[in-house]
Structure 1
């Protein structure tokens, strides 16, 4: 297995308190790695260590087959990075900002600037000063800057913040293109689980500074469970009917009015018929599949899907 990026027991302490604890992660060459976790879980701090913005207290980082040392800088020329909010020279145009960045990075293919601007959908505003751009446009410009030097590895911290649903879809499609057609490897943090589910090859889940799961989306999809979700007006009565009249034992109450039934042989018609006969009101009933969101929440709650 070829890993473009891997960490080993990566740990960071501030003022004697350990905030990142022995994180060992593996990002394969040519994949999109979705880095998930709630706010304050350690995503940004881990990414800052990977990009050498802050130094780890202990542990190792290896990128492009070489260990990252305190004075390592050359590897950064092969990376594109957005950590937290992208900062620009507000009085320069979008294109001038990209040109300045490429010159700083020692990358002199000016055609790549136009290509990056086109890829993120900013062609019509490339000559506007950055201070005139909206939050979403600045986010797109940050991605354009990150890809303008044709990096091998993209490290993107919450890159779709500030975008509307159309913009989010456009960037999701762009990330897939960068990975599949341009051969870039992407490490992306996000709290939008539905988007990560649609674009990621591997998922890493971090909680309280610890990497609690690292699993391929293929494995998650293979473990997905089909179930019937029914919303009723009386959960206690509905549960009694399921157990005593339908013979269902494998179910879970997930909300005040919501039940999930996991027995494959039971149909929606069986449940509806039993509830109607015993005067249980049904507000909705649907057959569904478990999602990345459920996998994530189960993992965070310590229930976990055992793989």
Structure 2
């Protein structure tokens, strides 16, 4: 079930029954979802799920068979020029003239785009942290710097949405963290929507406010991530491990309580794992204490994006 916010006024990107067929093969099958202003949405799916095909249709690199994509209310199918002007995108790796400086590469793009001022160039360069590297030739840039220069270029014309296909591909851990931080900063400062595809589940979990999962070209689910830790936001309450001095007595006590689902009782390790609601935890602690059960620790076992992904896709590998 979708857990998307309901504010229609902030919708930047809307996919409506988007479909791509080649011969008898359906690569993307009636895919629908939305991306809103200021949020980072991750597009996830196993190998061959149709992620890159979907992104290529959104930006007009390949034609859709049926359905449509709307960007700021403009149709990619029938109003392509009006729609695509709201898009900044990097599909695969950004390409530049390596013998030119970063600044000259951006100026080259500036000449091809309307309304890009010197002030805007300085603004996006500062936003992606490349102010001190603008006069260096691109061939001296690290991969992470090239990726950030690509994002700067994609932001020059003030797009409403930034679309990135594997932006952390090939980066080392420091570069991945740097890219994640800059994307979160861009979403916050620029207020634009970001749609990002990646095979790094841990990074998507840290970066995104919401994920959309597809499999075999079809929509599977979408899930909000919590703001505080970017863990899965669950309506099923919390999963807790109670480490106690008497697991058997704890289990028998808990069995008598409503709204408590005991998952595991380990007498040897003296712990009980249960599922409950946040608001019921004080009552559980009180009941255990009332029966003389000593509580040493309470540990929350959080569901990770990887755990949920394996459930959603039946263990399909993500690529």
SS in 2 for 1:250: strand
Residues 55-91 of structure 1: CA distance to partner in whole angstroms, max 9, x if unpaired? 1011111111122226712322222101111122222
Displacement of 1:12: 0.7
- State the secondary structure of the residue aligned to 1:289: coil
SS at match of 1:186: strand
Contact 2:76–2:84, Cα closer than 8 Å, also in 1 = no
The answer to whether the 8 Å contact 2:238/2:275 transfers is no
In structure 2, C-alpha distance between the alignment counterparts of 1:40 and 1:107, rounded to whole Å: 39
The answer to whether the aligner puts 1:167 opposite 2:179 as a matched pair is: no
Q: Counterpart in 2 of 1:255? A: none
Q: Is residue 54 from structure 1 mapped to residue 66 from structure 2 by the alignment?
A: no
In 1, the alpha carbon distance for the partners of 2:120 and 2:70 equals 28
The alpha-carbon deviation at position 260 of structure 1 amounts to 9.8
Q: How does 1:63-82 map to 2 (within 5 A)?
A: 63-69=71-77, 72-82=80-90
Structure 1 equivalent of residue 92 of structure 2: 84
SS of residue matched to 2:171: coil
The residue number in structure 1 matching 2:141 is 133
Q: Pick from 215, 219, 226 the counterpart of residue 239 of structure 2.
A: 226
Aligned residues of 1:55 and 1:70 also touching (Cα < 8 A): no
Residues 44, 84 of structure 1: 8 Å contact kept: no
Contact 2:56–2:62 (CA<8 Å) still a contact in 1? yes
The 8 Å contact of residues 144 and 179 in structure 2, kept in 1 or not, is answered as: no
Establish whether residue 188 from structure 1 lines up as the match of residue 178 from structure 2. no
Instruction: State the partner residue of 1:282.
Output: none
Contact in 1 for aligned 2:238/2:300 (Cα 8 Å): no
Structure 2 CA distance for aligned equivalents of residues 85 and 188 of structure 1: 14
Query: Which moved further from structure 2: 183-192 or 104-113?
Result: 104-113
Q: Note if contact 2:46-2:313 (Cα within 8 Å) is conserved in structure 1.
A: no
C-alpha distance in 1 between matches for 2:249 and 2:44: 41
Is 1:299 the equivalent of 2:312? yes
The alignment's TM-score, normalised by the length of structure 1, stands at 0.76
- 8 Å contact from structure 1 (residues 130, 138) kept in 2: yes
Residue in structure 2 matching 1:30, options 24, 28, 38:
38
SS of 2:219's partner is strand
Matching of residue 11 in structure 1 with residue 19 in structure 2 = yes
Structure 1 residue 95: Cα displacement: 1.4
**Counterparts of 2:264 and 2:150 in 1: how far apart (Å)?**
46
Unpaired runs of 5+ in structure 2? 1-7, 256-261, 266-270, 277-283
Taking structure 2 as the reference length, what is the TM-score of the superposition? 0.74
Task: State the partner residue of 2:164.
Answer: 156
Paired with 1:190 and 1:49, the residues of 2 have a C-alpha distance of 17
Q: For 1:38 and 1:229, how far apart are their aligned partners in 2? A: 35
Secondary structure of the 1:24 match is: strand
Q: After superposition, give the CA deviation of every residue in 1:157-182 in whole Å (9 maximum; x if it has no partner).
A: 11122333333333323222222222
Are residues 1:209 and 2:217 paired? Answer: yes
Q: Distance in 2 between the 1:300 and 1:102 partners?
A: 43
Q: Deviations over 1:190-244 (max 9, x none)?
A: 22223322332221011121121123325941436324499xxxxxxxxxxx899
* 1:12 counterpart SS class: strand
Deviation at 1:97, TM superposition (A): 1.2
